């Protein structure tokens, strides 16, 4: 466009970074009546918005014609609801133009600068463009002549109403000079202008919670509480990760920008440019607080996005509405939270039903510890023991691919239950279930068996306790007063947890001695009584009548019988040693008093009248209890037949002596 005659204008239109005003060139002469057949020019504004990371640095080269094929224009998004107002600045422009020195370009620059600097009073009337429609279009007719002298019109155009989702800081004023000629004497009655703007950025945020093992009972979990120190990366769905330059520019997960939860648990990604219609995903990465495997405490499932956010720009106000989806820990169901920003970019959150709610939430859970109990921990050998294995089904069971309980028992224990026996005892929350089926793997070679469960079957029971029982016994020959462990390990995807139940068995060693000399005595026989029962050792189901010494009491099974005659005789060996192995030491916290009853004393010794009371201990020789017998000894016999001979002989000797002395006396006389 160029001026070819007096009173016609050379127009230069320019749009740089946001909007650099139109440049108007003129000698200041009016447009004559024969120059135009119209007093107005129809101005159509095409309001375009750009996300922050797509905002064009280059100007839109406005020519007054349609720029529908321009690349920058194509990349823009029409903005609805923007209002522009045109203010007549004809007098200001031409006054500055005429006062300026230099050529026409310098004068135009001075005039334009004066127009942009001139203040718009609140009471000043202007020509309002209608609010832009869904196509971003608004049209108004502006007079070609203006000012007090009806000079060629110059207008300052301002954006006077901006939707909340658009940044008014990027909306610059611009200048239009009318009339405009297409070429030579052809008046351009319709012009198109493409003002651009930047959409407001968004803030993505959610709260990270931790669910820890209860320190007082590690089979249970604590209520959720804010968790600091968890780390995340952000990724476009099926796209790139967010880089440290705050752009989705092909950055890998390893190099992506990291976002860490603060002490309130909040994870925040501020000032981010999102694309309407796209979904963004948060992925957790290893941190000091949480790991995907071998976690010291909290764990997470790798390659699963705990938070997804879909961005959608509102057609009416250009607000970027954010829809979060996540699994709510209480309901175990996918939950939706909708975040809507106000004009200051602060978000209000509502549920899918419109109810007010809090931010979206993500959870880290600690793997709960299994539990194993036994119905008696102070035991006889061969006593039937019932172990109960319990495992809390984690709230995040949906993240698990493995849920196995491995029972590893001491070689001194014997498994008494079959796989069917064990699986038949499975309960959840104390009740049998038909929709959870365990599988049993036996590894007797390693004193181990495994019960596997399918996590998908357990999902509906999240937060409840699964249990089963198994019967075992302590074998003969078990070490005395030493813990015999039965360990359960919870194998899972994240970190194994284990617990053990311990039982012990005891014994007692005795030494038989002579009271006066302290000599050790063999061949004494005893039985052991507890209450109304008597100890019997059995070999392959058959009673063992007698056991000599101490060592061999570790070979056989132990049972209690009510028939005293069926009790096993415990016989002291040549060193006076004998004893019993495989006894419980206490019951209900109180020591058990056993009675040792002597049934046969060593030869030449008196059998014990009273039973010897003892308590089981570690069965060592150091703690051996002495059992003392008295010898019978040698005593005089009184009143027997053998003494008559001695008395008669004595009497005869006395009589002979008397007769002898009498005869002698007569001879002397």
* CA–CA dist 512, 522 (Å, integer): 7
Biggest CA-to-CA distance, the chain: 219
What are the percentages of helix, strand and coil residues in the chain, rounded to 5? 15, 40, 45
Say if 530 falls within a structural domain: yes
CATH of the domain at 409: 2.60.40.740
What is the spatial distance between Cα 173 and Cα 160, in angstroms, rounded to a whole number?
10
Residues 49 and 126 placed together within one structural domain of the fold = yes
The answer to whether residue 298 sits within a structural domain is yes
Provide the b/e sequence for 502-527 (b: ≥16 CB within 10 Å). ebbbbbbbbbbbbeeeeebbbbbbbb
User: Which pLDDT does position 513 carry in this prediction?
Assistant: 97
Measured CA to CA, the distance from residue 98 to residue 105 in angstroms comes to 12
Q: Which domain holds residue 257?
A: 202-366
Two structure tokens written together for 587 = 């019951």
482 and 468 share one domain:
yes
Looking at the domain assignment, is residue 3 inside a domain?
A: no
Pairing of strands 533-539, 546-548: unpaired
- Over the chain (669 residues), the average pLDDT of each successive run of 10 is 36 31 40 59 95 83 91 92 96 96 94 95 94 96 95 96 82 90 80 92 96 87 94 95 92 94 97 93 96 90 94 89 92 90 90 92 94 97 97 93 98 97 97 97 96 97 96 97 98 95 98 93 98 97 97 96 98 98 96 98 94 97 94 61 61 69 56
Q: Are 194 and 67 in contact (CB under 8 A)?
A: yes
- Crossing angle (nearest 10°) for helices 90-99 and 104-117: 140
Question: Both 88 and 38 in a single domain?
Answer: yes
Closest Cα to residue 586, out of 547, 565, 615, 627? 615
Beta strand 439-443 pairing with 213-214? unpaired
Please count the structural domains in the chain. 5
Q: Which of 454, 477, 499 is the last residue of a domain?
A: 499
Output the six-digit token pair for 395: 């709230």
User: What pLDDT, on a 0 to 100 scale, did the predictor assign at position 631?
Assistant: 86
- Provide the CATH number for the domain around residue 249: 2.60.40.10
Q: Find residue 453's DSSP bridge partners.
A: 403
**Same domain, residue pair 188 and 153:** yes
The three state secondary structure string of 276-298 is CCCEEEEEEECCCCEECCCCCCE
How far apart (Å, rounded) are the C-alpha atoms in residues 271 and 497? Answer: 42
| Residue pointed to by tokens 């447009």 | 31
Q: Does some domain include residue 352? A: yes
Identify the pLDDT of residue 242.
96
Answer whether residue 117 is part of any domain. yes
Burial environment of residue 339 by CB neighbours within 10 A (0 to 12, 13 to 18, 19 or more): buried
Closest CA to 138 of 176, 84, 88: 84
230 plus 325 within the same structural domain: yes
113: which 2 tokens?
């600068």
Do 263 and 160 share a structural domain?
Answer: no
One domain, residues 614 and 654? no
SS3 for 622? Answer: helix
Whether residue 233 sits in one domain with residue 165: no
346 in the same domain as 218: yes
**Beta-sheet strands, E only, within 92-214:** 127-128, 137-143, 145-146, 151-152, 154-161, 166-167, 174-177, 180-183, 186-188, 190-193, 196-199, 202-211, 213-214
Distance from C-alpha of 27 to C-alpha of 8, rounded to nearest angstrom: 9
The Cα 155–Cα 402 span in angstroms is 73
Question: How far is CA 335 from each of CA 64, 283, 351, rounded to the nearest angstrom?
Answer: 50, 17, 8
Beta strands in 314-359 (DSSP E): 320-327, 334-341, 347-351
pLDDT of residue 601: 96
pLDDT, position 187: 84
Report the predicted TM-score, pTM, of the whole model to 2 decimal places.
0.73
Cα–Cα distances in angstroms (integers) from residue 297 to residues 71, 221, 291, 450, 493, in the given order: 53, 12, 8, 24, 13
Could you give the CA distance from residue 158 to residue 215 in angstroms, rounded to a whole number?
A: 64
Residues 67 and 179 in one domain: yes
Task: Please state, in angstroms and rounded to a whole number, the distance separating the CA atoms of residues 12 and 106.
Answer: 13
Q: How far is CA 428 from CA 150, 392, 393, 434, in A?
A: 91, 9, 9, 10
Could you say which DSSP state residue 64 is in?
A: B
377: its two tokens:
């921990």
If asked whether residues 350 and 462 sit together in one domain, one would say no
φ, ψ at 179 (rounded to 5°)? -80, 170
Q: Which of 341, 366, 391 is the last residue of a domain?
A: 366
Tell me if 644 is assigned to some domain: yes
Give domain status of residue 288, yes or no.
Answer: yes
Buried b (16+ CB within 10 A) or exposed e, 278-315: ebbbbbbbebebbbbeebeebbbbeeebbbbbbbebbe
Last residue of a domain, one of 366, 401, 419: 366
Residues 50 and 177 placed together within one structural domain of the fold:
yes
Distance from chain centroid for Cα 409 = 30
- For residue 2, tell me if it sits in a domain: no
């Amino acid at each position: 466009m160029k001026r070819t005659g007096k009173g016609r204008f050379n127009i230069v239109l320019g749009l740089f970074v946001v909007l650099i005003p139109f440049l108007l060139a003129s000698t200041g002469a009016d447009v004559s009546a024969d120059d135009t057949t119209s007093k107005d020019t129809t101005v159509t504004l095409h309001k375009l918005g750009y996300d922050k990371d797509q905002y064009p640095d280059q100007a839109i080269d406005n020519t007054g014609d349609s720029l529908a094929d321009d690349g920058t224009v194509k990349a823009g998004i029409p903005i609805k609801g923007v209002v522009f107002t045109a203010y007549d600045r004809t007098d200001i422009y031409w006054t500055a133009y005429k006062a300026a020195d230099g050529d026409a370009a310098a004068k135009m620059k001075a005039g334009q600068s004066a127009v942009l600097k001139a203040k718009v009073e609140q009471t000043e009337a202007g020509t309002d463009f209608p609010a832009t429609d869904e196509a971003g279009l608004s049209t108004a007719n502006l007079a070609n002549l203006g000012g007090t002298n009806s000079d060629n019109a110059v207008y300052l155009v301002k954006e006077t109403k901006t939707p909340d989702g658009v940044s008014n800081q990027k909306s610059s004023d611009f200048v239009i000079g009318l009339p405009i000629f297409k070429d030579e004497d052809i008046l351009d009655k319709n012009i198109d202008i493409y003002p651009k703007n930047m959409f407001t950025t968004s803030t993505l945020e959610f709260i990270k919670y931790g669910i820890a093992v209860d320190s007082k009972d590690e089979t249970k979990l604590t209520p959720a509480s804010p968790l600091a120190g968890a780390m995340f990366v952000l990724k476009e769905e099926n796209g790139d990760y967010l880089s440290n330059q705050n752009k989705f520019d092909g950055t890998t997960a390893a190099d992506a920008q990291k976002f860490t939860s603060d002490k309130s648990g909040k994870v925040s990604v501020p000032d981010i440019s999102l694309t309407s219609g796209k979904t963004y995903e948060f992925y957790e990465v290893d941190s000091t607080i949480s790991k995907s495997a071998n976690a010291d405490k909290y764990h997470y499932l790798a390659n699963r996005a705990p938070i997804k956010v879909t961005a959608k720009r509102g057609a009416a106000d250009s607000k970027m509405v954010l829809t979060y989806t996540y699994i709510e820990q209480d309901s175990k169901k996918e939950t939706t939270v909708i975040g809507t920003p106000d004009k200051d970019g602060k978000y209000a959150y509502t549920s899918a039903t419109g109810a007010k709610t809090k931010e979206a939430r993500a959870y880290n859970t600690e793997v709960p510890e299994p539990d194993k109990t036994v119905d008696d921990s102070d035991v006889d050998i061969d006593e039937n023991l019932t172990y109960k294995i319990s495992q809390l089904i984690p709230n995040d069971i949906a993240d698990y691919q493995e849920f196995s309980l491995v029972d590893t028992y001491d070689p001194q224990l014997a498994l008494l239950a079959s796989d069917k026996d064990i699986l038949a005892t499975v309960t959840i929350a104390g009740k049998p279930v038909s929709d959870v089926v365990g599988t049993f793997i036996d590894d007797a070679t390693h004193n181990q068996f495994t019960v596997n469960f399918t996590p998908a079957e357990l999902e509906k029971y999240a937060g409840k306790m699964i249990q089963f029982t198994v019967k075992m016994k302590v074998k003969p020959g078990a070490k005395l007063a030493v813990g015999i462990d039965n360990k359960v390990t919870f194998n899972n995807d994240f970190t194994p947890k284990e617990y053990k139940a311990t039982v012990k068995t005891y014994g007692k060693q005795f030494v038989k001695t002579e009271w006066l000399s302290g000599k050790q005595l063999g061949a004494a026989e005893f039985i052991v009584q507890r209450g109304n029962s008597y100890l019997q050792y059995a070999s392959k189901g058959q009673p063992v009548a007698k056991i000599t010494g101490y060592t061999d009491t570790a070979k056989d099974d132990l049972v209690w019988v009510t028939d005293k005659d069926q009790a096993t005789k415990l016989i002291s060996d040549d060193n006076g040693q004998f004893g019993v192995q495989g006894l419980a030491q206490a019951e209900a916290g109180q020591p058990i008093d056993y009675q040792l009853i002597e049934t046969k004393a060593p030869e030449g010794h008196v059998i014990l009248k009273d039973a010897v009371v003892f308590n089981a201990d570690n069965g060592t020789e150091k703690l051996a209890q002495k059992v003392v017998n008295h010898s019978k000894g040698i005593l005089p016999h009184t009143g027997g037949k053998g003494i008559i001979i001695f008395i008669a002989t004595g009497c005869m000797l006395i009589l002979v002596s008397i007769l002898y002395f009498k005869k002698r006396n007569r001879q002397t006389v």
